[in-house]
């Protein structure tokens, strides 16, 4: 919701009405950062859910909080400059891979071990 609100504020600030997605470069960066975060959210929620159920709730929750923090830093970095997104982007990708590994390990343990 925070990211969507930032897009709304930027639309007002730069006078860009929906459905337009182009205009001031700062608005375009804010809009793109929000869209990128929204695109990854279903993947994140799915992996978080499976890792929490089949591996360990605490470990999944810790990874989830770190992921949300890195996406917040990604959003902040992207709104300032496009290069500011790279560090947090790589960190959030590593956390998604970690969640995937936890989910797979949990599923394998659940279905293959007696």
Q: How many angstroms separate the CA atoms of 95 and 64, rounded?
A: 8
For 23-81, how does the pLDDT look when each residue is reduced to its tens digit (9 = 90+)? 999 999 999 999 999 999 999 999 999 999 999 999 999 999 999 999 999 999 999 99
Domain tally, the chain:
1
Prior bond of 74 cis (ω within 30°): no
Please identify every residue annotated as catalytic: 12, 85
Mean pLDDT computed over 11-22: 94
Percentage helix, strand, coil for the chain under 3-state DSSP, each rounded to 5: 85, 0, 15
Q: What is the CATH number of the domain that holds 7?
A: 1.20.120.550
pLDDT at 82 over 90: no
Domain that holds residue 42: 1-112
Measured from the Cβ of residue 110, the count of other Cβ atoms closer than 10 Å reads: 11
pLDDT value for 61: 98
Residues 69 and 88: their CA atoms lie apart, in Å, by 9
What pLDDT, on the 0 to 100 scale, is given for residue 34? 96
């Amino acid at each position: 919701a925070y990211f969507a609100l930032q897009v709304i504020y930027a639309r007002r600030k730069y006078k860009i009405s929906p459905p337009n997605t182009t205009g001031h470069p700062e608005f375009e960066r804010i809009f793109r950062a929000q869209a990128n975060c929204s695109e990854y959210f279903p993947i994140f929620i799915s992996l978080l859910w499976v890792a929490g159920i089949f591996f360990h709730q605490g470990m999944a929750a810790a990874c989830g909080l770190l992921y949300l923090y890195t996406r917040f830093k990604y959003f902040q970095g992207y709104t300032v400059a496009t290069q500011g997104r790279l560090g947090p982007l790589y960190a959030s990708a590593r956390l998604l891979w970690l969640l995937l590994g936890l989910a797979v390990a949990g599923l394998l343990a659940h279905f293959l071990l007696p």
